[in-house]
Structure formats: structure tokens, C-alpha cells
Amino acid sequence: MITILIADDHPVVRSGLRGMLGGEPDITVVGEAASGAEAVAFVRSLRPQLVLMDLRMPGGDGAQATAEIVALDQGTRVVVLTTHETDTDILRAVEAGAAGYLLKDSSRGDLLAAIRAAARGETVLAPSVAGRLWHQRNRPQVSLSPREIEVLGLVAQGLSNADIGARLHVSEATIKTHLLRAFTKLDVSDRTAAVTTAMRLGLLP
């Protein structure tokens, strides 16, 4: 019997999942949590095999709760079940130790198959999530110098090359050189693309 804890701050979602899983002979829902903190507390007491974990919840988000559950070392595996599939969300969940990442628009059959696979010790990922994760892990690493990051940060604030030069007490030509080097490293050809790419890579806030 696969024992499951449902962690989601929406009562309707919890009820729907409980109803969906309730008719399966090899699955039983042992509890429901409305926050990350509740999920961790219930895992301590109920020791379920799996947690279906939403990401965006009050009282500690799903990634944080996942990390705490994994740290308990009780054998409970966490499968994220969410509507969010940004690169940041996926990486945070995987780095926290999640055994799977599924989307709430998954079919009933796919969800049940994923639950059983996760219970067997397999990693389960929605196809779109797997693609994003592969892309993230295989993307070449980009390293900008502190000065290049500083210049791009000022570009993001809307300053011109001349304004940035005056701010940093260097010539406008020096600023252009820093930008051209950053363009090359980021594989872009203009200021806007450089800023947005650097933000996407986590090089700029």
C-alpha cells in the first residue's frame, strides 16, 4: 500500500486529489497539509511513503518543506505537483531533493503512473519539466567580471554609456569595451538582450 500525504493550500485541490486517489486499491491518503510547515510536521508523525507537494504555499513554501522532509531521513519521497514550471521553481525543487516534478494539468493516468513509479524509487518528471531541466544542466556556464556585472546593472537602471562612465569615473569608450565583452560572453548583440540574458542566468538580480 502506497501511503500519501497531500500538501496544498487550496482545499478544493486537496479534496479533488483525495477523491482521485481514493478509489485505487494500492494507494491510501493518510493526511492533508495546508502549508509547508504542516507538511513537515505531518511527515514526522505519519511517516507517509510519498508527499504530493505544492510549491507556492504559506508557512514555508514547497521547496523549503521538501528540503526539511528529505533532511528527516525517514524514507519519505516528495513529488512536487504544481502549476508552476519556471526554471527557477524546477531547480529549487530538484536541489531540495524532490523525487519528481509534475504539473497539475497532468492526466489522471499519468499522475497515478508517476505516483507508483516514485514509490518504486524512480524519478518522475513531466515531459516539459524534463526538457527544461536538461537545458539548464547542459547550458554553458557564463562568467562575467565584477565590472561587467556592475555596468550591466547600471544599464538595467536605464543609464546611458556616458552616464555610466561618469558614475564609474571612466571614459565612455571603456564602458563600451566592458559591454562588448559582456555581449560576447552572453552571446547577444545589444544592451537589452544582455540585461535580460544576464537576469535569466542569475547574474543580475
- For the chain, domain boundaries: 2-138, 146-200
pLDDT of 52 reads 97
Task: List CB contacts of 177: < 8 A, sequence separation 6 or more.
Answer: none
The CATH number, out of the four listed (3.40.50.2000, 1.10.10.10, 3.20.20.220, 3.30.420.40), of the domain defined by the range 146-200 = 1.10.10.10
The CATH number, out of the four listed (3.40.50.2300, 3.40.50.360, 3.10.20.30, 3.40.50.300), of the domain defined by the range 2-138 = 3.40.50.2300
End-to-end Cα separation, the chain, in angstroms: 46
pLDDT of 16 reads 95
Work out the mean pLDDT of the chain and round it to a whole number: 90
pLDDT level of residue 139 (50, 70, 90 thresholds):
low
- Amino acid 172 reads E
More confident residue, 86 or 120: 120
For residue 136, pLDDT beyond 80: no
* % pLDDT > 90, the chain: 69
Task: List CB contacts of 4: < 8 A, sequence separation 6 or more.
Answer: 21, 27, 28, 29, 30, 48, 49, 50, 51, 52, 115
For residue 25, pLDDT beyond 70: yes
pLDDT of 135 reads 61
pLDDT level of residue 137 (50, 70, 90 thresholds):
low
Residue 125: which region, alpha, beta or left (left: phi > 0; alpha: psi -120 to 50)? beta
pLDDT of 167 reads 94
pLDDT tens for residues 76-117?
Answer: 999 999 988 777 788 788 888 999 999 999 999 999 999 999
pTM of the predicted structure, to 2 decimals: 0.67
pLDDT tens for residues 26-57?
Answer: 999 999 999 999 999 999 999 999 999 999 88
Write the DSSP symbol of residue 159: -
For residue 140, pLDDT beyond 70: no
For residue 200, pLDDT beyond 70: yes
Contact by Cβ (8 Å): 164, 154: yes
pLDDT level of residue 183 (50, 70, 90 thresholds):
very high
pLDDT tens for residues 152-175?
Answer: 999 999 999 999 999 999 999 999
pLDDT of 202 reads 81
